[in-house]
Amino acid sequence: MSDAAFDHTDVVPGKWRPVAEESRTTRIVLIAIALGGLALLVLAPLAVVFAEALAKGAWAAVKSLGSRDARSAIQLTLLVAAISVPVNAVFGIAAAWVITKFDFKGKAFLITLIDLPFSVSPVVAGLALVLLFGTNSLIGGWLVASGFPIIFALPGIVLASIFVTFPFVARELIPVMIEQGRAEEEAALTLGASGWRVFRTVTLPNIKWALLYGVLLCNARAMGEFGAVAVVSGKIRGQTATMPITIEMLYNEYLSVAAFSMAAVLALLALITLALKTALEWRHADQLAATRRH
Amino acid sequence: MALALRSQAQKSPMPGFRLGMGITLTMLSVIVLLPIGALLAQGISYGPAGVWNTVNTPRVWAALYLSFRLAFFAAVFNLIFGTLLAWVLARYEFPGRRLVDAVVDLPFALPTAVAGIALTALYAPNGVFGSLAKAAGGKIAYTEWGILIALIFVGLPFVTRTVQPVIAEIEREVEEASATLGASRFYTLRRVILPMLLPAALTGFALSLARAVGEYGSVIFIAGNLPMKTEIAPLLIVIKLEEFDYNGAAAIGIAMLLISFSMLLVINLIQIWSRRRIGHV
Amino acid sequence: MHIEIDEIAKQFGSTTALHPVSLPIPSGALVALLGPSGSGKTTLLRILGGLEFPSSGRVLFDGKDATGLSVQERQAGFVFQSYALFRHMTVFENIAYGLRARPRRNRPPEAEIQRRVTKLLELIQLPQIAKRFPNQLSGGQRQRVALARALAIEPRMLLLDEPFGALDARVRKELRQGLRDIHDNTGLTTVFVTHDQDEAMELADLVVVMSMGKIEQVGRPQDIRARPATPFVREFIDA
């Protein structure tokens, strides 16, 4: 087909008008609905976060973030992300490698299982972890007795964060790796490269943008997870309260500026994530096109 | 399972099957399968009768009904608005289109607790939109409407993100063919374009629904959390846990899992059916 | 229907797809627009069908100015190179589409639709495939369904863009005769675009050779073969 169909002909006599598009009025109305809806539903809440944080001036906002509990929450959240994101990246790469480079029975089932956390409520995920590792359980009781508690402690928060972000990296990698096939790796093998070398020099460069994309999404979710962490953390101030949990506690204590200041930090992080993600999409549109359906 | 898998994959010259499968299955078991198993085990030890008795109380039914009903409405809204948004982003040129495209993903990136307090601040009676509603004699936050808005927010990007690439793949010739056969633009949209988008839109709908059913962080702030009225099912689980009623929490958790999975199963079947008719995608 | 192309030109931005071209197409003729890609033949066909609006010039149907008619009003049966069948509809629904899309007052009753679709399926010699979906058909079958779908609206003319382009050589030969038969049965003024000079020469009453947005020569196949008007035509038909 020629580019003809994409040409916008100017005003023409008679009833003729471009075939595969809506009238100008319809277009304007639809664009207005889309933009208006987004502004109301998405941008307004975002704006409110910053407005409320700065309600008593920038100094009050900054000062609230300097408190001991706030700093401890920020540190904890960074620590949780620093552990759970790499773990998920390794898992994602391993799962995508197995799924795309080999044929085996039950592959579809394995993919379903990997996607499972998407359809489990974070609260249910937290509950499941509590039931497995809580003091009342066999494993949990033993772990607590040996001085390594999981629930109401860092490991539980990390496990919960990994659970809710579980499919992210794998889902970004699988379509890209399917698209790229196995030929390049096979060629490298025939040239005598070792398995690890093939992965490092052939596979990884091919998937690095999709991997980064998955890691970004995973990081944003890991830092922001609330439901699952609320259940497993015990919400101990200064110890197991992550940033989202601290936001809840501050908000419930009517410390609005403090709550929204911390929310603004997370919102900024979300904006940075989006900016990076968008930059990736613009620069590596071809490779990421395969993944834009999660 | 791993042993059987290995023997099948051994024909492949590709390395790393044992290592990759080892990591995959270990992680999957520790993070996902064992905890879910523990949940189910708790339900079994509690007994079907116990689970049923916990669930079969007015308060639990009310919470489950509220969660699933509002999640469904939110997903329906997102299905319609998300499809419209995808169409506008994929087909129309306007200043700032790429920026708008990026903004669509904000609900994915913004932590739910942040969204929760922001929506509450907006829609509470003293908030920007809440005061408008109050002036009109209505109330949004601390009612079902507030919950609905929060659920719409968290599920907003799913349909747009699944439908947008499909719109980009539609051949113009199909639309032109419809026009040459005498169909109006509206008829073409309704009878040709929408059916082509349906499978992808349903995928987005299912994701949006699953997300909304289990959503907790963005809802509890705006919900008001009144038993029988604005108490969502995940909150009931948290309450049971705080009362150390592990059996009760597990019972509600299992009920949610069962309902979610049967809903997703139905949606999957509809999808398989509509995909088979179209052939691919 | 007699078609008159009167000084039609088309620009896309800064590129000229068609220099002003004029061409009378006699009623009931089977005409081939022949030329290499980029010669403007598809653009001319799309302008006839109302899919494209000319930058200047007029199209006349039976002497009346049709330039401003919308694609829906032209009632041109159009067969696309990719066939553009509706994947989510059965063959039957594809063919019935144009009838069902009519406003209620012009829409034939259901029994009439059934009767017409059945008749068209017989015309294309595929009466047994009504319930199949396009992805279950061979390339040749798809082409014939696209043709039947275009005929269902009782078009005033038939326009085909590379109707045999996507088919292998054997099926192509078979379907050429099919198109010839349908043309002879219906008597519709038919214009098809092709880059294959054998196809044009064998099938058309009148061949229009185009190059670089201009008409090089118009004539009966044997005349063009015997007396190529320009070096381009000579080279192109020898190739």
Say which amino acid occupies B117: I
Q: Which residue of A has its CA nearest to C44?
A: A4
Residue A60: partners with Cβ closer than 8 Å, 6 or more residues away: A257, A261
At A4 the pLDDT is 40
159-188 in A: which are within 8 Å (CB) of B?
159, 162-163, 166, 182, 185-186
- Cα dihedral sign, B55-B57-B63-B69: positive
In chain C, which residue's Cα lies nearest the Cα of A16?
C70
Shortest alpha-carbon distance between residue C43 and chain A (Å): 8
Which residue on chain B is closest to C94 by alpha carbon?
B178
pLDDT-derived band at A137, boundaries 50, 70, 90 = confident
**Which pLDDT score, from 0 to 100, does residue A130 have?**
95
- Chains interfacing with C (3 or more CB pairs < 8 Å): A, B
| Average of per-residue pLDDT across A170-176 | 91
Give the residue among B166, B162, B195 at the shortest CA–CA distance from B178.
B195
Domains of chain C: 1-75+158-239 (3.40.50.300), 88-154 (no CATH)
| Chain B interface includes A74 (CB < 8 A) | no
Contact flag C78-B184 (C-beta cutoff 8 Å): no
**Which pLDDT tens digit goes with each residue over B272-281?**
887 776 654 3
In a domain, B128, yes or no: yes
Average pLDDT over every residue of A226-236: 92
A13 vs B: CB within 8 A: no
* pLDDT of amino acid A231: 94
Q: Which residues of C touch A (CB under 8 A)?
A: 12-13, 17, 42-43, 46, 50-53, 67-71, 73, 81-82
Contact flag C84-B196 (C-beta cutoff 8 Å): no
- What pLDDT, on a 0 to 100 scale, did the predictor assign at position B51? 92
Cα–Cα distances (Å) from B203 to A118, A122, A183, A273, B71, in that order, read 13, 20, 31, 25, 15
Q: Which pLDDT score is estimated for A160?
A: 96
Q: Which residues have C-beta within 8 Å of that of residue C184, sequence separation ≥ 6?
A: none
Q: Do residues B111 and B201 share a domain?
A: yes
> How do the domains of chain A map onto residue ranges?
1-53, 57-289
pLDDT given at position B265: 86
- CATH 3.40.50.720 for domain A57-289, yes or no, is no
Please check whether residues B97 and B124 belong to one and the same domain: yes
Q: Which domain holds residue B41?
A: 14-46
What was the ipTM of the complex prediction? 0.91
- CA distances (Å), A259 to each of A91, A248, A274, B123, B219, in order? 34, 7, 22, 17, 16
Same domain, B274 and B241: yes
Higher pLDDT, B119 or C68: B119
| pLDDT tens-digit readout, B180-226 | 999 999 999 999 999 999 989 998 999 999 999 999 999 999 998 88
Q: What pLDDT, on the 0 to 100 scale, is given for residue A215?
A: 95
Integer Cα distance of C186 and A124 in angstroms: 68
* Residue B236, pLDDT above cutoff 50: yes
User: What pLDDT is stored for residue B273 in this prediction?
Assistant: 80
* Cβ atoms within 10 Å of C35's Cβ, excluding its own: 28
pLDDT of residue B10: 54
Domain count, chain B: 2
For residue B97, give the CATH number of its domain.
1.10.3720.10
- Helix axis angle, A68-101 to A243-252, nearest 10°: 140
Task: Inform me whether the C-beta atom of residue A95 falls under 8 Å from chain B C-beta atoms.
Answer: yes
A147 Ramachandran zone, left/alpha/beta (phi>0; psi -120 to 50): left
Could you say which of C12, C17, C69 has the minimum Cβ distance to residue A15? C69
Across the interface, whether the CB atoms of B172 and A30 are under 8 A apart is answered no
Residue A55's pLDDT band (cuts 50, 70, 90): very high
Q: List pLDDT tens digits, range A72-96.
A: 999 999 999 999 999 999 999 999 9
CB-CB under 8 Å, C53 with A9? yes
Distance from CA of C128 to the nearest CA of B (A): 18
The confidence score (pLDDT) of residue A2 equals 39
Q: Tell me: the pLDDT tens digits for B182-195?
A: 999 999 999 999 99
Structure tokens at A267: 């919102």
* Per-residue model confidence as pLDDT tens digits over B3-19: 555 555 556 778 889 99
Partnered with residue C15 across adjacent β-strands are: C12
Nearest beta carbon to residue A226 from set B118, B179, B216 = B216
Residue A3 — very low, low, confident or very high, per pLDDT cuts 50/70/90? very low
Residues B84 and B129 grouped into a single domain: yes
Question: Do B41 and B140 reside in the same domain of the chain?
Answer: no
Residues B116 and B18 in one domain: no
Q: Across the A/B interface, how many CB contacts are shorter than 8 Å?
A: 304
Q: Chunked in runs of 10, what are the mean pLDDT values of chain C (239 residues)?
A: 94 91 94 93 95 93 91 93 93 96 92 95 92 92 95 95 87 88 93 93 94 94 93 87
Report the pLDDT value the prediction gives residue C239, as an integer from 0 to 100.
67
Contacts of A14 in chain C (CB under 8 A): 67-70
Q: Is B3 on the interface with A (CB under 8 A)?
A: no
Quote the pTM value: 0.89
Q: How far is A180 from chain C (nearest CA, A)?
A: 26
CA B253 from chain centre, in angstroms, equals 17
B102 and B214 inside one domain: yes
* Percentage of residues in chain B having pLDDT higher than 90: 78
3-state DSSP assignment of residue B200: helix
Same domain, B27 and B146: no
Q: Can you spell out the DSSP letters for A142-211?
A: HHHHTT---TTSHHHHHHHHHHHHTTHHHHHHHHHHHHH-SHHHHHHHHTT--HHHHIIIIIHHHHHHHH
Structural tokens at position C188: 């519709």
The reply to whether B6 falls in a domain is: no
Let me know if B265 is exposed, middle or buried by CB neighbors in 10 A (0-12, 13-18, 19+).
Answer: exposed
Stretch 201-260 of chain A: residues touching chain B, C-beta under 8 Å: 217, 220-221, 223-227, 230-231, 243-245, 247-248, 251, 259-260
Do residue B95 and residue B227 come from a single domain?
A: yes
Same structural domain, B41 and B71: no
Asked whether the predicted pLDDT for residue A268 surpasses 90, the reply is yes
Residue B177 has its nearest CB partner, among C72, C80, C88, at C80
Chain C residues touching A9 at Cβ < 8 A: 52-53
Contact call for B117 and A260, based on CB within 8 A: yes
Give the count of beta carbons closer than 10 Å to the beta carbon of residue A268. 12
Which of C97, C142, C149, C160 should be substituted to probe chain B, the one whose Cβ sees the most B Cβ atoms within 10 Å? Answer: C97
Same domain, B240 and B269: yes
In a shared domain, residues B36 and B172: no
Q: Which chains touch A (3 or more CB pairs under 8 A)?
A: B, C
CA A205 to chain centre: 22
Residue B140 resides in a domain? yes
Q: Which of A1, A7, A15 sits opposite C70 (nearest CB)?
A: A15
Query: Buried b / exposed e across C40-64, counting CB within 10 Å, b at 16+?
Result: bbbbbbbbbbbbbbbbebebebeee
Residue C175 · residue C138 · CB < 8 Å? no
Chains that touch B (3 or more CB pairs under 8 A): A, C
Which tens digits make up the pLDDT trace of B61-88? 999 999 999 999 999 999 999 999 999 9
Residue A159 has pLDDT above 90, yes or no: yes
Q: Say how far apart CA A120 and CA A164 lie, in whole Å.
A: 9
**A2, A42, A266, best to mutate vs chain B, most B CBs in 10 Å:** A42
Which residues in chain B have their CB less than 8 angstroms from residue A77's CB? Answer: none
Cβ neighbours for A197, distance < 8 A, ≥ 6 positions apart = A188
- Please tell me whether residue C210 adopts helix, strand or coil conformation: strand
Residues in chain C: 239
